[in-house]
């Protein structure tokens, strides 16, 4: 396996059929890292975040906070080699007006959550991002923030970036969201912490709940009425210390790779076992995978533990919306390409508005691998077969690039993933971790 640089971008070149073996730790959970930074920025005092996610997305959230006057220091790694960041803030009242456009890069999470954070502040702020982010829907966060009293605008009537925000006195509001979204829910909770009265969020289906777990663990009274209903009043988290558990979505690439490459046997240590984030394990188990989960502890409200995976033969399945899986659907589609029979992914129209239109980009790359696949408005149908090594593209989407690597590990012959540098968003050191599991490092 090798990576080949071409100017700003690079290719990953892989030979199929080599087993993965050994123990690894994946980077810290991206979702938890964004939230830890934002909540530390809202707290009055010094917080410590160990094992923060390494990719560009979280770096953008950190940079935004820096522009608001929050002090961030990256200290030397601790005794286990885990990097520790110190975040010092005087709380939201001390935020200053940013003197530049706040660059969210490729990160929808940064843009939406920061919009909620700044909705309560009177200063003017402009949020922008790269070409992919500029095409992603923002009305879902702009409208409810307007309903709370913030002045928020954006291109196309406030539905697209850049966003211009001048926040102010917010009033607690009951929001019935049209689309379940962990990002929008978090934005509204961060706004709700700065609003007068009760902010309640009702979703059509459960979305990831890291924010609720963290707030509860940090002493903010938050009422979780059921998995789709949450409410809070004004307040602020206290400064805290957290060791960010491994990212279950990053782990998913190794879980699927080890399942589909014969002879593989791995352990991924210290991963968040948040039930909303590891539902993909149930799908793979239903398909015939051999995966064991061992809980080892709890960290700021999040169960943490190890995932053990052995190679297994898979068969197709149906994946429906109530399983609330979204970021792992692409890699489940790769698993399906190596399974016997049909796999249908339903109720997943949101795939079309992620870092790329993942229904379109996955269909294209699976076809390139020689897999029979059908794109649908709400998902994708994959007929398993014997994918062959080929030239794949990332489409500038980190998860599509990582899916290409997983497919290449199990496909016959050589696979090249073009635009590999897209992995910098969530998993810049993936190729190094993979090399270790392949026995190359």
Give the interface with ligand S3P as residue ranges (CB under 6 A). Answer: 31, 109, 181-184, 186, 207-208, 326-327, 350
Hunting for tokens 């206290």 — which residue is that? 238
As measured in angstroms, the least distance from the Cβ of 112 to ligand S3P is 7
**Residue among 377, 336, 340 at smallest CA distance from 360:** 377
Residue closer to ligand S3P, measured from CB, 324 or 431: 324
- Pick the catalytic residue from 103, 209, 327, 433: 327
Cβ-proximal residue to ligand S3P, closest one: 182
Q: Can you say how many angstroms the Cα of residue 304 is from the centroid of all Cα atoms in its chain?
A: 17
As measured in angstroms, the least distance from the Cβ of 168 to ligand S3P is 25
Sequence-distant (6+) residues with CB within 8 A of 228 are: 180, 202, 203, 204, 205, 206
Residue closer to ligand S3P, measured from CB, 304 or 351: 351
As measured in angstroms, the least distance from the Cβ of 291 to ligand S3P is 22
Residue closer to ligand S3P, measured from CB, 207 or 343: 207
Hunting for tokens 């398909």 — which residue is that? 287
34's tokens:
């964004």
In whole angstroms, what is the distance from residue 50 CA to residue 43 CA? Answer: 17
In whole angstroms, what is the distance from residue 244 CA to residue 110 CA? Answer: 18
Has 433 been annotated as catalytic? Answer: no
Residue closer to ligand S3P, measured from CB, 52 or 260: 52
SS3 (DSSP) at 225: strand
Residue closer to ligand S3P, measured from CB, 411 or 423: 423
Sequence-distant (6+) residues with CB within 8 A of 312 are: 259, 288, 289, 290
CA quadruple 44, 48, 52, 54: dihedral sign? positive
In whole angstroms, what is the distance from residue 327 CA to residue 160 CA? Answer: 22
Percent helix / strand / coil, the chain, rounded to 5: 35, 30, 35
Residue closer to ligand S3P, measured from CB, 257 or 326: 326
Q: In this structure, are residues 337 and 370 in contact, taking their beta carbons and an 8 Å threshold?
A: no
70's tokens:
């929050």
Sequence-distant (6+) residues with CB within 8 A of 42 are: 89, 91, 92, 117, 190, 193, 236, 237
Phi, psi of 198 (to 5 degrees): -95, 135
Sequence-distant (6+) residues with CB within 8 A of 132 are: 106, 355, 356, 396, 397
As measured in angstroms, the least distance from the Cβ of 242 to ligand S3P is 15
Distances (CA, A) of 150 to 172, 364, 400: 12, 41, 36
As measured in angstroms, the least distance from the Cβ of 51 to ligand S3P is 17
Residue closer to ligand S3P, measured from CB, 108 or 270: 108
318's tokens:
């149906």
Residue closer to ligand S3P, measured from CB, 165 or 329: 329
Catalytic residues: 327
């Amino acid at each position: 396996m090798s990576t080949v640089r071409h100017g700003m971008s690079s290719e990953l070149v892989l030979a199929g059929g080599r087993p993965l073996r050994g123990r690894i730790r994946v980077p810290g959970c991206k979702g938890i890292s964004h939230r830890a930074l934002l909540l530390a920025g809202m707290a009055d005092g010094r917080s410590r975040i160990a094992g923060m996610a390494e990719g560009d997305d979280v770096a953008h959230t950190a940079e935004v906070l820096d522009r608001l006057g929050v002090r961030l220091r990256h200290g030397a790694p601790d005794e286990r080699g885990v990097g520790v960041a110190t975040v010092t803030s005087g709380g939201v009242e001390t935020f200053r007006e940013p003197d530049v456009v706040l660059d969210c890069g490729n990160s929808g999470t940064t843009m939406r959550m920061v919009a909620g954070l700044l909705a309560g502040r009177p200063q003017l702020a402009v949020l922008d991002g790269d070409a992919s982010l500029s095409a992603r829907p923002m009305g879902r966060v702009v409208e409810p923030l307007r309903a709370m009293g913030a002045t928020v605008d954006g291109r196309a009537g406030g539905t697209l970036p850049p966003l211009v925000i001048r926040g102010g006195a917010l009033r607690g509001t009951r929001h019935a969201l049209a689309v379940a979204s962990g990002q929008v829910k978090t934005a509204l909770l961060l706004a709700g912490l700065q609003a007068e009265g009760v902010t309640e969020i009702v979703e059509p289906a459960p979305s990831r709940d890291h924010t609720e777990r963290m707030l509860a663990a940090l002493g903010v009274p938050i009422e979780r009425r059921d998995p789709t209903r949450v409410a809070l009043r004004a307040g602020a988290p206290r400064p805290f210390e957290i060791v960010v558990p491994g990212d279950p979505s990053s782990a998913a690439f190794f879980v699927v790779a080890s399942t589909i490459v014969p002879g593989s046997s791995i352990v991924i240590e210290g991963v968040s076992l948040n039930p909303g984030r590891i539902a993909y394990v149930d799908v793979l188990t239903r398909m015939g995978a051999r995966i064991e989960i061992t809980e080892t502890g709890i960290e700021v409200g999040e169960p943490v533990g190890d995932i053990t995976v052995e190679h297994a033969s898979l068969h197709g399945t149906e994946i429906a919306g109530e399983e609330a899986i979204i970021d792992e659907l692409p890699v489940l589609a790769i698993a399906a390409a190596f399974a016997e029979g049909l796999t249908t992914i339903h109720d997943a129209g949101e795939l079309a508005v992620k870092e790329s239109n993942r229904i379109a980009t996955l269909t294209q790359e699976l076809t390139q691998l020689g897999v029979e696949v059908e794109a649908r408005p709400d998902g994708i149908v994959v007929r398993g077969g014997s994918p062959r090594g080929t030239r794949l593209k990332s489409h500038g989407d980190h998860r599509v690039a990582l899916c290409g690597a997983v497919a290449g590990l199990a496909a016959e012959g050589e696979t090249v993933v073009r635009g590999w540098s897209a992995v910098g968003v969530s998993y810049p050191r993936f190729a190094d971790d993979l090399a270790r599991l392949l026995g190359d490092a």
